[in-house]
Amino acid sequence: MILKSFIKNCAGYSIMDLVIGLTITGVAVPIGNNIIASSHKTYNVQAQVKEMDKNIRNVCDMITQDLRTAGSRPLQNGARDVGNSAAILQINVSSADTVAATITYAYSADIKGIIRTCHGVSESVAENIQDFSFTFLDSQDAIIATADSQGSICKVEFVIVGRTARPDAHFAQNAGYRTESLTSTMALRNML
């Protein structure tokens, strides 16, 4: 008897309650999906930008380290230990009046990266590079334009422009690739 009276007094959901609940759910779920999709896209773009930045900084550190070792001892013929070429940055690491190693950095448009060659072994040290250029400067920060002036090289300024690995369909510039440029000027402190 108690059970029958309890069941009679319990009210369930009406059809109107169900329709309102489904309407709210039907609006909230697509909004939630859009927020999640947008967050996922932003995360992926930021991960690519972070990877690009790390890539550029790693190769910059590598070049800087090699430039610091250039000319650790001057060569007998008085030549400087940094080559002046429009396409290749050549660094001679000297010891005891001989060239111990020649290190070159070159941009490869085929792989869109920077190739480092040392002791005849070439390796890709940076990928997704859009441009790599360098300028040689004298002690007055004037640009050295000819190979005849190699003896007066005191600084090397290099620019590395990286790009993301994949294009972003919602980014209109650079065919969808996000880019970042790093410029560094390295004084050749061991040059005599």
> In sequence order, which ranges of the chain are alpha helices (DSSP H)?
2-9, 15-69
Give the residue-averaged pLDDT of 108-127. Answer: 89
pTM over 0.75: no
Model confidence at 96, pLDDT cuts 50, 70, 90, reads: low
Identify the burial level of 5 via C-beta atoms within 10 angstroms of its C-beta, where 0-12 means exposed, 13-18 middle and 19 or more buried.
exposed
Whether the predicted pLDDT of 190 surpasses 70: no
Lowest model confidence (mean pLDDT) among 21-35, 36-50, 60-74, 125-139: 60-74
Cβ neighbours of residue 60 closer than 8 Å, sequence gap 6 or more: 158, 160, 182, 184
* pLDDT (average), residues 142-147: 72
Q: Phi, psi (5° rounding) for residue 143?
A: -70, 135
Could you tell me which residue, 92 or 26, shows the higher pLDDT? 26
pLDDT confidence tier of residue 150, bands split at 50, 70 and 90: low
CA dihedral 132, 133, 138, 144 (to 10 degrees): 160
Would you state the pLDDT for residue 31? 93
Mean pLDDT to the nearest integer, 141-166: 79
pLDDT of residue 73: 44
> Please, which pLDDT band fits residue 75 given cuts at 50, 70 and 90?
very low
Banded pLDDT at 88 (limits 50, 70, 90): confident
Mean pLDDT of 41-48: 90
Model pLDDT, residue 146: 61
Element (H, E) at 183: strand 179-187
